[in-house]
Amino acid sequence: MLVVISVGGSILAKDLNPDSFISYANALSTLAKEHRLVVVTGGGVAARNYINVARSVGANEVVCDFIGIDVTRLNAQLLISALGNDAFPEPPRTYKDAGAALTSSKIVVMGGVIPGQTTDAVSAILAEYLNADLMLIATSVDGVYSADPTTDPDAIRFEKMTAKELVNVVMSTEMKAGSKSPVDPLAAKIIERCGIETIVMDGSDPTAVSDVIMQEGVESEPVKGLHRRTRITGTR
């Protein structure tokens, strides 16, 4: 299978601990023996800090986005360093370059590409462009909820949902001030458009992420309860 994995910066680069990069690299290297992988890294707290300073000194939002992209690429470079020879040596700067890098049979790791989006959208566009079999969003929550679970005690987690349901939930969550859904609206729309099978799960344990992908490779219906997640059913 060709799998696109979006790893949130809040997971990979939390506290900039080298162990997170090393444990992700180990899990990905093992997984790459069975599947072709493209990994998109987020910016995390460092991106937010840099963007806040940029705003304070008068940068406009496009400049802030460029700064965010640079930080996502730094995280990509750190993961590439941890992967060593298993990774394509440079984070591609465009979707087309990512496609070309994939022909190397190495793990391709990249960050953001253009202003106005997040790395979830990069992952979804890549998944569509590369005709990937599966997309996995490794984030700080264990799936997609009916409302923001940090503020709404009645929020329930979806075990399974359609892409259309995802779009509706994401839009209604994003409309509430301060709320943030685990999948950004553009990514949700692309997932709906291309019909790719997508999993949203807590990415803090990279072996859980690789377990879930390995299981997807052999089972059409995953065993319930192995790792909590939301599956957005594909249509292709």
Binding site for ligand UTP (CB under 6 A): 8-10, 42-44, 47, 64-65, 68-69, 72, 112-119, 122
Q: Which is nearer to ligand UTP, 109 or 113 (CB)?
A: 113
Q: Which is nearer to ligand UTP, 86 or 112 (CB)?
A: 112
Q: Which is nearer to ligand UTP, 8 or 36 (CB)?
A: 8
Minimum separation from the CB atom of position 15 to ligand UTP (A): 13
Q: What CA–CA distance (Å, rounded) separates 95 from 44? A: 22
Q: At what angle do helices 18-31 and 206-218 cross, to 10 degrees?
A: 20
Q: What CA–CA distance (Å, rounded) separates 149 from 143? A: 10
Minimum separation from the CB atom of position 66 to ligand UTP (A): 7
Q: How big is the chain, counted in residues?
A: 236
Minimum separation from the CB atom of position 98 to ligand UTP (A): 12
User: What token pair was written down for 214?
Assistant: 């390995």
Minimum separation from the CB atom of position 85 to ligand UTP (A): 27
Minimum separation from the CB atom of position 187 to ligand UTP (A): 9
Query: Percent helix, strand and coil across the chain, each rounded to 5?
Result: 50, 15, 35
Q: Which is nearer to ligand UTP, 62 or 226 (CB)?
A: 62
Q: Which is nearer to ligand UTP, 47 or 132 (CB)?
A: 47
Q: Given the structure tokens 């953001």, which residue do they identify?
A: 112
Which strands make up the sheet holding 36-41, listed edge to edge?
Answer: 108-110, 36-41, 2-7, 134-139, 198-202, 229-232, 160-161
